[in-house]
């Protein structure tokens, strides 16, 4: 199966290099150099993953990410300049699945792409054994869909993986370091705030009051866990 990726960056040399390198992995690559073109392409084509630089002419990358999340759950890896901590957090808040700081190692980017694609593979031939029901949630592990009280909840790839892990191991407390290693699928030595942002976004989608969560709770000084009703 050939995966189709959209790579967005306003540096022509970097964009050309990424396209060449990723095509060596048998990915089909489209490119865009500004946010306006990137948004139009992403909304009118079917991509398996988008690599999105945040500093773009036209519409900036944060706005592109935000608008895409209103229409699509396509996995997004954002690229940020060194020291742009606020942009990283905002990107995750807007629904990005992961981020890399420039300059980055192309092998690390490839590893993250593979990890995300491995987790978002969709299979429509769903059998009952692929459906988990717990505390009012119905989690379709192959279709990667979540319903709560008969209402479908749109989750990003990482939000889904996080909920699935916690819900299928109720009461077990996971540290942020453990969640980075398990959910992100490789030896990830990134910012632990990545986990906090995803937990916060997940709570906003599944909890009646995200400031007083019923399902995903914090064990202060340790980590997060799922509490069954």
- HSE-CB of 5 using CA atoms within 13 angstroms: 29
Q: What is the pTM of this model?
A: 0.74
| Section 90-112 average pLDDT | 91
Question: Is the pLDDT confidence value at 183 over 50?
Answer: yes
Residue 83: the pLDDT is 75
Question: What is the tens place of the pLDDT at every residue in 146-162?
Answer: 999 889 999 988 899 99
DSSP string, 38-80: HHHHHHHS--SEEEEESS-SSS-HHHHHHHHHHH----EEEEE
Whether the CB-CB separation of 18 and 7 falls below 8 Å is answered with: yes
pLDDT tens string 185-215: 655 556 778 899 999 999 999 999 999 999 9
Report the 10 Å Cβ neighbour count for 134. 14
pLDDT of res. 121: 58
DSSP state of 98: E
CA distances from 77 to 129, 149, 190, 227 (A): 31, 31, 14, 30
Q: Distance between CA atoms of 223 and 15, rounded to whole angstroms?
A: 38
CA pair distance 179, 192, nearest whole angstrom: 9
Residue range 43-88, pLDDT digits in tens: 999 999 999 999 999 999 999 999 999 888 899 999 998 777 888 8
Backbone angles phi, psi at 142, to 5 degrees: -90, -45
Q: Give the residue with greater pLDDT, 103 vs 121.
A: 103
What does the longest C-alpha to C-alpha distance in the chain come to? 54
pLDDT at 18 over 70: yes
pLDDT at 141: 83
Into which CATH architecture does domain 4-119 fall? 3-Layer(aba) Sandwich (3.40)
How far are the Cα atoms of 146, 150, 167, 201, 229 from residue 170, in angstroms, in the given order?
A: 17, 21, 5, 19, 10
Residue 188 has what pLDDT? 52
Residues 6+ apart with CB under 8 A from 127: none
Predicted pLDDT of residue 143 = 78
Cβ contacts of 208-216, under 8 Å, gap ≥ 24: 215/135, 215/167, 216/163, 216/166
Residue ranges per structural domain of the chain? 4-119, 128-226
Instruction: Say how many Å lie between the first and final Cα of the chain, rounded.
Output: 41
**Matching CATH number, 128-226, of 1.10.10.10, 3.50.50.60, 3.40.50.2000, 3.30.750.24:** 1.10.10.10
* Residue 122, pLDDT score: 44
**Higher pLDDT residue, 1 or 165?**
165
pLDDT in tens, 105-142: 999 999 889 888 877 654 444 445 588 889 899 998 87
């Amino acid at each position: 199966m050939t995966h189709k990726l959209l790579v967005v960056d306003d540096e022509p040399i970097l964009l050309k290099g990424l396209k060449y390198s990723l095509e060596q992995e048998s990915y089909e690559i489209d490119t865009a150099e500004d946010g306006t073109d990137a948004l139009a392409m992403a909304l009118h084509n079917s991509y398996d993953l988008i690599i999105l630089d945040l500093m773009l002419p036209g519409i900036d990358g944060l706005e592109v990410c935000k608008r895409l999340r209103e229409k699509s759950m396509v996995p997004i890896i954002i690229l940020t300049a060194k020291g742009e901590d606020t942009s990283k957090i905002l990107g995750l808040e807007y629904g990005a699945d992961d981020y890399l700081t420039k300059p980055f190692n192309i092998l690390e980017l490839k590893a993250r792409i593979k990890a995300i694609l491995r987790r978002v593979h969709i299979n429509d031939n769903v059998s009952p054994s692929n459906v988990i029901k717990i505390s009012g949630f119905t989690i379709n592990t192959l279709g990667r869909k979540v319903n709560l009280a008969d209402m479908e909840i749109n989750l990003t790839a990482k939000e889904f993986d996080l909920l699935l892990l916690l819900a299928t191991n109720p009461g077990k407390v996971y540290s942020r370091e453990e969640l980075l290693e398990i959910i992100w699928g490789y030896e990830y030595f990134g910012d632990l705030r990545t986990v906090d942002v995803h937990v916060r976004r997940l709570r906003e989608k599944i909890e009646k009051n995200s400031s007083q969560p019923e399902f995903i709770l914090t064990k202060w000084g340790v980590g997060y866990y799922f509490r069954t009703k």
